Structure 1
Amino acid sequence: MRILHLLNHTRRLNGHVHAAVDLACRQVQLGHQVAVGSQGGDLDALLRSNGVETIFASHDRGPDQVLKSFLGCGGVLRRWRPDIVHAHMMTSAVLAWPSCKLLRMPLVTTVHNEFEKGAILMGLGNRVIAVSGAVASSMRRRGIAGSRIDVVLNGTIGSARMRGRSEEPQNLDHPAIVFVGGLHPRKGLPDLLRAFDAAFPHNPAMRLYVVGGGPHQDAYERTARALPCADAITFAGPRDDPYRWMLGADIFVLPSHADPAPLVLSEAREAGCAIIGTNVDGIPELLEAGRAGILVPPGDCDALARALIALTTDPAQLSEWRAKSQLNLDHLRIDRVAEETLAVYRRAAGGAG
């Protein structure tokens, strides 16, 4: 099968990019011809080294450039002649849809960020992949027919992007609590800072490490500096090796207010962390409905503090939850994601025909 993935860019530190790159590389390993059309980025080298062709496809939406982007995308489809076009973001879906109609090529879309207003445009696909059951429910509420939606839960284990990474744990003080994510309100870091401050007196040896960057980093650092436990909080900034920090952690916390199916939970579970996540969107699905990680209500700093206290003051509970993180871990392998996605392609091709 000839598969063309379309996405805005191939830069690191974007979950939808990582998911698309992981999938494309695995599809080549399964014997398919695969290309990625985008405006490029630092993951292009990884794609090419895994046999994925990289093609420039403008995604510029500026008033003077959008027509050029439409025509450029159509030109890519005409030249490469894919059997399946797989769009990973709203701009890609909109640019590809007219040419897919004209050329009678099936279009598959993946909804990575359903909280965005433009996510409804992902319904342009013949088939719509939701990265969690929660995303599928949201898209149905927005008017996309359930008969066109397929759920393919995210997973990263065994992906080409993970090969060659360092397996040396980051040297951290213990008990070590790690957060990895973008520093913007949706990820809920202020809740974790307040919860950590409340839990700290129960075990002053605990340390919090914040890995990631974003537009609110300065504000969050100011908040942390004003806390009595400020000396126990480290902002490590964006890192190319976040998995090392997970390997060095005792506890991984994801306090998101909205998160369709965060790849970072797959990585944290693979690293063997005890996990605390919020009971929102796709997080419960990635934590086996609370069997592989502790679930707390989003925005509930008291509940989050109680979970931190329990894990940092009771070694038996910490060991128990680290072991539970391994429950049904194989379900988060990229092999399963690729096979389920190929099944969606076959349905899309049948429907388009």
Structure 2
Amino acid sequence: MRILQALFFPPEQPGGVSSMVPYIHEGFRHLGWEMDLFSLPKRVRSKGQEPIGFDTFDWTVYKGLPVIEKYMQTFRDYVWWTRMRIKEPYDLIHAHHPLVALAMKHVFPETPVIATIHSSYERELILNGRIAAGGPEERFLTSLYGELEAKAELVMTVSQAFKRYMSAYVREPERIRVIPNGFDERRFRPTPHENAVPQLITVCRLVPAKGLDVLLRACAEVKRRGGRFVLHLIGDGPSRTELEAMAAELGIYEDIIFYGYMLHPEEFMPFADIFVLPSRAEAFGNVFAEAALCLLALIGTDVGGISEQIEDGKNGLLVPVDDVMALADAIEKLCADPDFRYALARAAREKAKSQYSLRRVIVQLTEVYETIANRRRTGEFGT
């Protein structure tokens, strides 16, 4: 069986999905499966001219809105690039983005396509101030879930929380399957160390949705209380200049290191003590599992997939979204009590190893792929 793993971003691009799927691909290839990776290169822009339509809604009522025009042009570009590059059909296509799944189904209507939805583009745009909640852009983007349900053989997502979110936009939410992300434990190597000053670390794109403004204010409060720390901030994005200015204004710029984008942050994370990321939304939050495998104590917000990974007080600490004082209390508590943070880190690592292993994902996907293949052979799609 020939399978295509279809990504939106190239594997070398930053982001949990782009870094995870190649390891799934490698794992299947090691087991003897015939599997390829495919994505849209950054250089392909405004090439596609093919008319695109949807079966479940009329997208043209949203024409003229910049976000939607850009999205649709990317859709056309993906279709164009797919036609250019893929000449032989696959038995199954596993897409990791709604646009990718719909583009693949457009080019290969007879090929079974399954889709894993890893995050919500519309929620990210709203939280980052790009579009308004309830506006036409959100209506367009959430309509794609219904289109995906109508065309894909199977829709999957990465957390029960995100399944509940998607359920509002599909006809049969019970058919959405949840397979949490998985990680190759060999990539994450805890390193024995003793830091005289607690080392905090976060890894993310620097955008408002990640709540880094809350993190900086919480760190300023910890410092005001007399706490000592160093915050390692790995990632880049449009908020970097604003965050650096905020750090200076709060008097903590000297306590923070802004690294910018790092290709393999897992090689650096084991030398820290506490991973903290106060996201305002997160479908799964790959980086929490990665930090847990590096034996870091976790602090996250009580949202989405984060609250499914962290059991407050057992394998990490959860705080409410946008609560500066609660976050400061959590940071202060872990900085002041090395034994407690190590106990949390050890419990987090054990959970990540048992529930978010790459082997577990490969076993679950194997069952999915074989089921879809059997349905194709017997003509049972749609039953």
Q: What is aligned with 2:304?
A: 281
Q: What is aligned with 1:345?
A: 369
User: Aligned match of 2:102 in 88, 94, 102?
Assistant: 94
Counterpart-to-counterpart distance in 2, 1:82 and 1:142: 29
Counterpart-to-counterpart distance in 1, 2:189 and 2:330: 30
C-alpha deviation, 1:72, in angstroms: 5.0
Q: Deviations over 1:179-238 (max 9, x none)?
A: 111100111111110111111234442111111111110111100011133321221211
CA RMSD of aligned residues (A): 2.8
Aligned residues: 331
1:7 aligns with 2:12: no
Normalised by the length of structure 2, the TM-score is 0.78
C-alpha deviation, 1:341, in angstroms: 1.6
Counterpart-to-counterpart distance in 1, 2:77 and 2:320: 46
C-alpha deviation, 1:242, in angstroms: 1.2
C-alpha deviation, 1:33, in angstroms: 0.2
1:309 aligns with 2:332: yes
1:73 aligns with 2:105: no
C-alpha deviation, 1:244, in angstroms: 3.2
Counterpart-to-counterpart distance in 1, 2:91 and 2:354: 30
C-alpha deviation, 1:351, in angstroms: 4.4
Counterpart-to-counterpart distance in 1, 2:78 and 2:335: 53
C-alpha change, 1:114 and 1:2, in structure 2 (3 Å) is same
- Unaligned residue ranges in structure 2 (runs of 5+): 51-72, 123-137
1:111 aligns with 2:117: yes
Q: Deviations over 1:251-293 (max 9, x none)?
A: 1001100111121111100110110011111112222576321
SS in structure 1 at match of 2:350? coil
C-alpha change, 1:144 and 1:61, in structure 2 (3 Å) is farther
List aligned pairs for 1:49-88, cutoff 5 A: 63=49, 69-70=78-79, 73=82, 79-88=87-96
- Unaligned residue ranges in structure 1 (runs of 5+): 42-55
Alpha carbons 2:227, 2:332 under 8 Å: kept:
no
Alpha carbons 1:59, 1:91 under 8 Å: kept:
no
C-alpha deviation, 1:303, in angstroms: 0.9
SS in structure 1 at match of 2:183? coil
C-alpha deviation, 1:315, in angstroms: 2.7
SS in structure 1 at match of 2:185? coil
C-alpha change, 1:148 and 1:59, in structure 2 (3 Å) is farther
Q: What is aligned with 2:55?
A: none
Counterpart-to-counterpart distance in 2, 1:133 and 1:59: 35
Q: Which amino acid aligns with 1:73?
A: T
C-alpha change, 1:234 and 1:298, in structure 2 (3 Å) is same
C-alpha change, 1:170 and 1:107, in structure 2 (3 Å) is farther
Counterpart-to-counterpart distance in 2, 1:94 and 1:244: 36
Counterpart-to-counterpart distance in 1, 2:254 and 2:177: 47
SS in structure 1 at match of 2:367? helix
Q: Deviations over 1:16-37 (max 9, x none)?
A: 2123222211111222100112
Counterpart-to-counterpart distance in 2, 1:207 and 1:270: 21
Counterpart-to-counterpart distance in 2, 1:287 and 1:68: 39
Counterpart-to-counterpart distance in 1, 2:339 and 2:191: 25
Q: Which amino acid aligns with 2:365?
A: T
Normalised by the length of structure 1, the TM-score is 0.84
C-alpha deviation, 1:67, in angstroms: 5.6
C-alpha deviation, 1:59, in angstroms: 8.2
Q: Which amino acid aligns with 2:215?
A: L
Moved more, 195-204 or 169-178: 169-178
SS in structure 1 at match of 2:349? coil
1:17 aligns with 2:18: yes
Identity of aligned residues (%): 28
Q: What is aligned with 2:348?
A: 325
1:217 aligns with 2:218: no
Counterpart-to-counterpart distance in 2, 1:210 and 1:280: 21
1:150 aligns with 2:174: no
Alpha carbons 1:178, 1:245 under 8 Å: kept:
no
